[in-house]
Amino acid sequence: MRDEKFGCRHYWRSVPSLTVHGCQFETREQMNGVSSYLDGTGIYGATDDKLHLIKTYEDGKVNLTACELCEQTDHNALGLLHRVFLREHNRVAEKLAETNVHWDDAKLFLEARRIVVAQLQHVTLNEYIPAILREAVQVDHELRPLANGFYAGYSSSNKAGTYNAVALAALRALVWTRADKIGGLENHIITSANGIGVAAAPDAAAWSMHVARDHGVPGYVKYLTNCLEEYIKVS
């Protein structure tokens, strides 16, 4: 790939992985090092090494300057979101330290992270998902948060994963635009697709297309056909 400002950029294919059901190298699948659960690994990291880099080991706080995404200009919206949650972690840790003077650094960090992850889950289910999905979809897939009590429908037999099309197209588009300002999911998808290279780095769209081809994500015509079929059913 060629970038006029930065010169040539190397592109590496994603690491191949075993298939989910057969645990074999059949059709090419890609390895994903990110958790599909709303467990805050996008904030705190998915490995002990990442967690070690972000912790200050003082009063349960995190190091704001250790956030890699916060400094990436081609993901400025995502980096800003990470910085907000990291600052919130330190704010919560300070409050916990004031009311629990006997807690050590490890206890303060774990409890602050627990609260921040709960906040992330609440915002996602209570505000983010309703902005992009219809009410019927939320009800059918049990995505509405409970008014009280705890959710009892979890099963370890469920496969937690993210479709390639969602990870490489839908989620990236949703980071750069806001559905509530566009008016409807259909217009939101179209606007996101048209503006994806403008809102981010100059070659972000080209880079996303390379990754999508690597992962076998169908092209625009395929999704347009699916949208039209769904529209006809609803109409």
Tokens (6 digits) for 63: 């190091």
What is the mean predicted confidence (pLDDT) over 17-26?
67
d(CA 6, CA 152): 51
Over the chain, what is the mean pLDDT? 76
Between residues 197 and 15, the one the model is more confident about: 15
DSSP state of 68: T
Give the distance from CA 54 to its chain's centroid: 19
Which range is most confident: 170-174, 183-187, 193-197, 206-210?
Answer: 206-210
Beta bridge partners of 29: 17
Q: Which of 51-55, 165-169, 174-178, 219-223 has the lowest mean pLDDT?
A: 174-178
Band (pLDDT 50/70/90 cuts) for residue 197 is very low
What is the mean predicted confidence (pLDDT) over 138-158?
82
Between residues 32 and 140, the one the model is more confident about: 140
Helix locations, the chain, DSSP H = 41-44, 48-54, 76-99, 105-123, 129-132, 135-140, 164-165, 171-176, 185-199, 204-214, 220-234
Per-residue model confidence (pLDDT) at position 158: 75
Per-residue model confidence (pLDDT) at position 100: 97
Per-residue model confidence (pLDDT) at position 101: 95
0.85 exceeded by the pTM? no
pLDDT above 70 as % of the chain? 69
What is the mean predicted confidence (pLDDT) over 175-200?
47
Band (pLDDT 50/70/90 cuts) for residue 1 is very low
Per-residue model confidence (pLDDT) at position 7: 54
Between residues 222 and 86, the one the model is more confident about: 86
What is the mean predicted confidence (pLDDT) over 22-45?
77
Per-residue model confidence (pLDDT) at position 222: 76
Indicate the SS3 state at residue 11: coil
Indicate the SS3 state at residue 138: helix
Give the pLDDT confidence of 56-113 residue by residue, as tens digits: 999 999 998 876 655 554 456 667 788 899 999 999 999 999 999 999 999 999 999 9
**Contact (Cβ atoms closer than 8 angstroms) between residue 190 and residue 5:** no
Band (pLDDT 50/70/90 cuts) for residue 13 is confident
